[in-house]
Amino acid sequence: MKKHNFSAGPSILPREVIEKTAQAVLDFNGSGLSVLEISHRSKGFEAVIAEAVSLFKELLNIPEGYSVLFLGGGASLQFCMVPFNLFEKKAAYLNTGVWASKAMKEAKGFGETIEVASSKDANYTFIPRNYVIPADADYFHITTNNTIYGTEIHTDIDSPVPLVADMSSDIFSRPMDVSKYALIYGGAQKNLAPAGLTFVIVKDEILGKVSRYIPTMLNYKTHIAEGSMLNTPPVLPIYSALETLRWLKVNGGLVEMEKKNIAKAELLYNAIDNSRIFIGTAAKEDRSRMNICFVMKPEYAELEGDFLKFATAAGMDGIKGHRSVGGFRASVYNAMPIESVQALIDCMHEFEKQH
């Protein structure tokens, strides 16, 4: 039976990326050695890093004056690394979910942290609007896609202060204007690579302006100077990321990814909206293209457990919703084929017929 991987993360990767990564584990570029055992400072692996950085810049159309870093620690380490490098007097945060809230919590340890708006009272079912970004803030932090609640910021917002974005779960899902951001970061385990890799895109000129001492491992300038080689980087996820970047380029880049992601999301949301027993949880104007959250209508709530068993038996893997929301979550990242989305819809229709 075919498995359809709707896991929120670590999540689906293109099959050819998995196969090429597996081959590199056995034999890296015909060297007779595994990518797991070669030196990260060998010419072979330095070429991997160089090409990955180059493709990052090409696919995202990153302007001059930005650096791309490959680090460890996940997005969670960036929650404190960002204020370490940028926070001098005041920071501003948009609270749209658990991860945004955790990022803001770390910033509060550095001083005055402004929550410009929050949708917490509505269980983060929408993206706040009409808020005011303090013009004297050192930076403004957003989380562009909220995996738990299924909401997403679909456009590149204008900010009067340096804009920082956690793009862990929607990077490379659409074309974007990187010039509007001072810093973009994320864990790679959604749309890019296996767990263990963190990417950072940072505008060089915003660094070196804080008065505090920054620990060496937490200083972006140190990692830039060392070309992401200050210490041994996560070599296997970086190699896998390179294969994903190559896959993205061959398959039409981000314009094509966005078309496919819109098509997949619309297909599933239409099925939910036209269902007799299912209902979406996020505000329609803020629905995520990456993480589609839905529940049973109240009169059918007792069937949630039955549907989860039914769907799992039909090969739908990872659709159980986060415990704070309940219900179901279908994560449809770049590598998710539309055929799998249709398979889930067919499963929903069949369950609905039976009830």
- The yes-or-no answer on residue 166 being catalytic is yes
Q: Which of 190, 203, 260, 320 is catalytic?
A: 190
- The yes-or-no answer on residue 89 being catalytic is no
Q: Which of 99, 138, 260, 264 is catalytic?
A: 99
- The yes-or-no answer on residue 190 being catalytic is yes
Alpha-carbon dihedral of residues 281, 285, 286, 290, nearest 10 degrees?
80
Q: Which of 20, 138, 166, 286 is catalytic?
A: 166
d(CA 308, CA 149): 18
Q: Cis link prior to 10 (omega < 30° from 0)?
A: yes
75 and 186 Cβ atoms separated by less than 8 Å: yes
d(CA 85, CA 216): 11
d(CA 12, CA 327): 21
Two structure tokens written together for 296: 């049973």
**Three-class SS of residue 179?**
helix
- State the DSSP string of 37-76: TS-TTSHHHHHHHHHHHHHHHHHTTPPTTEEEEEESSHHH
Number of H helices, E strands in the chain: 9, 14
CA separation, residue 64 to residues 67, 68, 70, 164, 203 (Å): 9, 11, 18, 18, 9
Cite the active site residues. Answer: 99, 166, 190
